[in-house]
Amino acid sequence: MTPNLVTVFGGAGFIGRQVVRELAALGCRVRVACRDPEQALALKPAGDVGQITPIQANIRHEGSVRAAIRGADAVVNLVGILYESGNQRFQTVHEAGARRIAEAAKAEGISNFVQLSALGASSESTSLYARSKAAGEAAVRAVIPEAVVIRPSVVFGPQDDFVNRFASMMRIAPALPLVGGGHTKFQPVYVGDVADAILKVLTDSAQKGRTFELGGPTVYTFKEILELIMRETGRHVGLVPLPYDLAKVMGFFMELLPVPPMTRDQVELLKSDNVCSGNLPGLRDLGIEPKAAEIVLPTYVDIYRKGGRYSPVQPV
């Protein structure tokens, strides 16, 4: 049941680029729906002539969402934000935007729908990000009960925001803070495994209506992740414990920057572990063997060892 035409919202983003490349390799036509279609142009060579089409869509605007979905067989929603700015609020993007896409999909008769959520999504969370992700899941399921929800832990791979951000900081900073002591646990998952999972659920009707938690093979504390990045980049910086309250004060001031490196809401997120519960299906249930960070990181953080710096180009 390979869909013919798939609309991927957020398809020019980090996970989206991998999903679009894999869908094209499978032979699907792909509409890459994003606010600035120029961001998706570099993806076109990943497909044949006319196979990958960037299309302008803002999930806060219904008309553009409907136009992006028209005629599609399946929809993947990868739109997400890490901090609020201007009209980009957690509620409007993660909840209202997801509902708008689901309603437009339903109007087109589409039930093959994948919603990217996040581990930790919960209506009980003290983090607005996590509550809005849970609200987005519920909004989509209320419209399309067959929708598949995917909750990854932190995702790594070439061009990621997480490993590259800390590796970049290690080039210049003498020390990095360990919020809450750096004890929060994560289960980093490889972007290729996340994309494989999305393709599996899109092409297997037996997965409809399920929720998956995606994590890699190893659980690390935040401190252990920074130590791993230091090992792989050959950099050594101090790691300084920073109590949550102090981190929130720093977050308050950082929120004044155009791209805040840390927000108060992210500090709230760090108070809970970000690991698979074991109560929901995961990668292995989809026949995917999760790749270890130790195998993948050397393939893209070596530039820091050589004194290079991260340039956020979009590879095909």
Ligand X SMILES: NC(=O)c1ccc[n+]([C@@H]2O[C@H](COP(=O)([O-])OP(=O)(O)OC[C@H]3O[C@@H](n4cnc5c(N)ncnc54)[C@H](OP(=O)(O)O)[C@@H]3O)[C@@H](O)[C@H]2O)c1
Residues of this chain that interact with ligand X (CB under 6 A) are 10, 12-16, 34-36, 39, 57-60, 78-81, 88, 93, 116, 118, 152, 154-155, 162
Closest separation in Å from C-beta 220 to ligand X: 14
Q: Which is nearer to ligand X, 87 or 279 (CB)?
A: 87
Closest separation in Å from C-beta 174 to ligand X: 27
Closest separation in Å from C-beta 203 to ligand X: 20
Burial 293-311 (b: 16+ CB within 10 A, else e): beebbeebbeebeeeeebe
Q: Which is nearer to ligand X, 165 or 236 (CB)?
A: 165
Closest separation in Å from C-beta 78 to ligand X: 4
Q: Which is nearer to ligand X, 15 or 276 (CB)?
A: 15
Do the beta carbons of residue 37 and residue 67 sit within 8 Å?
Answer: no
Do the beta carbons of residue 42 and residue 316 sit within 8 Å?
Answer: yes
Which residue sits closest to ligand X, CB atoms considered? 13
How far apart CA 170 and CA 263 sit, in angstroms, is: 20
For residue 139, the SS3 value is helix
Closest separation in Å from C-beta 9 to ligand X: 6
What is the crossing angle of helices 98-107 and 62-69, to 10°? 50
Q: Which is nearer to ligand X, 64 or 233 (CB)?
A: 64
Q: Which is nearer to ligand X, 49 or 259 (CB)?
A: 259
Give, for 307, the enclosing helix (H) or strand (E): none
Tell me the C-alpha to C-alpha distance, in Å, between residue 45 and each of 14, 28, 49, 207. 17, 14, 8, 31
Do the beta carbons of residue 111 and residue 42 sit within 8 Å?
Answer: no
